[in-house]
Amino acid sequence: MAKSGNYKILTRTVLLVSFVSLFTDVASEMLYPIMPVYLKSIGFSVLLIGILEGVAEATAGLSKGYFGHLSDIRGKRVPFVRAGYTLSAISKPMMAILTFPVWIFFARTLDRFGKGIRTSARDAMLSDETMPEHKGKVFGFHRSMDTVGAAIGPILALVFLWFYPGQYKWMFMIAFFPGLVAIGLTFLLKDRVTGLQGDRVTGLQGDRVTKSQMSSARPTINPSTKVGFFSFLRYWSKASSGFRFLVAGLLAFTLFNSSDAFLLLALKEQHLSDTWMIGVYIFYNLVYAMFSYPIGALADKIGLKTMLITGLFLFAIVYTFMGFVSSLAMFGVLFFLYGIYAACTEGISKALISNMAAKADTATAIGFYNSFASIFTLLASSLAGVLWYAIGPKAMFMVSGMGVFVVACYLVMVFRVKR
C-alpha cells in the first residue's frame, strides 16, 4: 500500500473505485471493437450507427455536468457511482436480447447515461480521498487500473471470436458478468462522514493548495432542493481565473483530439489485418496502464502542469507523423508515445481541475469540464471525418498535431503568467 510518511495514499476507497473501473472497462472494451460490426449485422446502416453514437455520447456529456453538480448539492458520491455503474452493466445484455432499432437506441443511451451519472462523482470521490500533493498518484493509479481493464477486454474478445467467430450476441451476454462484479464492489463503498469544503482557489494553483482548504465541513443542503439540468453552467462565473484558463486550453485541445478510431483507421489504410489492428490497440492500452501510476507520481514531484504540457507535446508529435508512417515498427513507436501521452494527460488534467476547485464544488468543476469535453469530442470527430474524406488522412493528422502544438504553447504561456 503506497504511503507518504504516515499518510496512506492508496486508501480502501481509491482501491475499490479503481477495481470497479477495471471490471467495467473489461465489459465495455470487450464490445468496443465489435460494436459497429454487430450493429451492421442486425441491420443498422453506417448513418444510423453514427446517429446512435452521437445521441449516446451527447447524453453522457450533458449528464456529467448535471449529476456532478447534483452530487455536490446533495453532498453524496456513492449513490451516483453505484447507479451509474449499474445502468451501464444492465445495458449490455439488453442489446443482445432485442434487436429492434428503438430498443438498441434505448440500451446504448442507457449505457452512456450511466457513465454520465457516475463519472464526476467518482472523480470527486478520488479527489476527496487525498491531499493535493498526491493527486497525481491517486488519479494515475485509477487510470492505470481502468486501462488494464481496457486492455483485458479486447484480449477476451479476440480469444472468444477465435473460437466462436461471428457470435456477437454471446459477447454482450458475457460482458454482463464483469459488470456484475463492478456493481457488487460499489456496495463496499461508503461516503465520507465529514464532507470537505474550502474557500474557492484563486489564481492557477494547480499543484499546491493549503491544508486549510481541505478541512472545513460541507454545508448542510436541503435534500428537496431542485437542481436545474443546466445549472452547472453557472459554475463558470464563480470559478477561479485559473480554472477558466486551464479549461479553455483543455477544450481547445479536445477540439483537435478526434476519436481513436481514426488512429485505427490509419492502420487499416496500411492494410494491417483486424488482428494486428486490435493487437496495436491492446499494446497502446498496456503502455497507458503501465505508465499511468509512475507518471502520476513523477507529476507530484515536478508539477502537474509540467506533466500535462509534456503530454500535449507528445500528442502533437504522434499526430504529426501518423499520416506519414507505413511500417508496423513505426506504428509501434507512435502508439507507445501515444500511451505515454494519455498517461500524462487523462488523470493529470482531472487532478489539476480538482485542485482548483473548492471541495464543495469538486464534482461540479469536473462535471463542467467533462460535459463540454464530450461535446467538443463529437465536434472533433466530425471535423476530422470531413478532413479525412475531403483532403486525406495526412491532412487530418497534420491539422490535429499542429493545433495541439499551439494549445500546448498557449498553456505554457498561461502557466508562466499565473505562476
Neighbouring C-alpha atoms within 13 Å toward the C-beta of 231:
14
Tell me the C-alpha distance between 235 and 64, whole Å. Answer: 14
Q: What is the mean pLDDT of the chain?
A: 82
Of 155, 174, 141, which Cα lies nearest the Cα of 19?
141
Half-sphere exposure of 296 (CA within 13 A, CB side): 32
Name all domains of the chain by residue range, CATH numbers in brackets.
9-193+231-417 (1.20.1250.20)
pLDDT above 70 covers a percentage of the chain that reads: 87
Q: What is the mean pLDDT of residues 106-115?
A: 87
Q: 40 or 246: which carries more pLDDT confidence?
A: 246
Separation CA 276–CA 98 (nearest Å): 32
d(CA 200, CA 345): 24
pLDDT given for residue 291 in this prediction:
93
Q: Which residues pair with 148 in a beta bridge?
A: none
| Mean pLDDT for the stretch of residues 388-395 | 83
* Range from 20-29, 40-49, 380-389 carrying the lowest mean pLDDT: 40-49
Average pLDDT over residues 63-74: 89
| Cα 361 to Cα 366: distance, rounded to the nearest angstrom | 9
Whole-angstrom distance, CA of residue 62 vs CA of residue 39: 25
| The pLDDT value given to residue 100 | 79
Q: Which of 77-81, 83-87, 157-161, 298-302 has the lowest mean pLDDT?
A: 157-161
Cell of residue 276, nine digits: 494486428
Give the span between the Cα atoms of 345 and 351, in whole angstroms.
10
CA 345 to chain centre: 10
Helix (H) or strand (E) holding 3: strand 3-4
Q: Which helix (H) or strand (E) holds 8?
A: strand 7-8
Phi, psi of 80 (to 5 degrees): -75, -40
Q: What is the mean pLDDT of residues 378-401?
A: 84
Q: What average pLDDT score do residues 40-62 get?
A: 72
- pLDDT value of residue 2: 62
pLDDT at 211 over 70: no
pLDDT of the residue at 1: 54
pTM for the predicted model, two decimal places: 0.81
Note the pLDDT tens digit of each residue in 290-346: 999 999 999 999 999 999 999 999 999 999 998 888 788 888 899 999 999 999 998
Q: CA triplet 140, 314, 406: central angle to 5 degrees? A: 115
Please give the share of the chain, as a percent, with pLDDT higher than 90: 33
Q: What is the structure's pLDDT at 62?
A: 81
In this prediction, residue 218 carries a pLDDT of 47
CA–CA separation, 22 and 32 (whole Å): 15
Among the residues of 75-134, which ranges form H helices? 78-97, 101-128
Give the Cα separation of 44 and 99 in Å (integer).
10
Choose between 228 and 68: higher pLDDT. 68
pLDDT in tens, 252-272: 999 898 777 778 777 777 777
- Please check the confidence at residue 86 and state whether its pLDDT lies above 70: yes
Assign 240 a pLDDT band (cuts: 50, 70, 90): confident
Question: What pLDDT, on a 0 to 100 scale, did the predictor assign at position 334?
Answer: 92
pLDDT of residue 202: 37
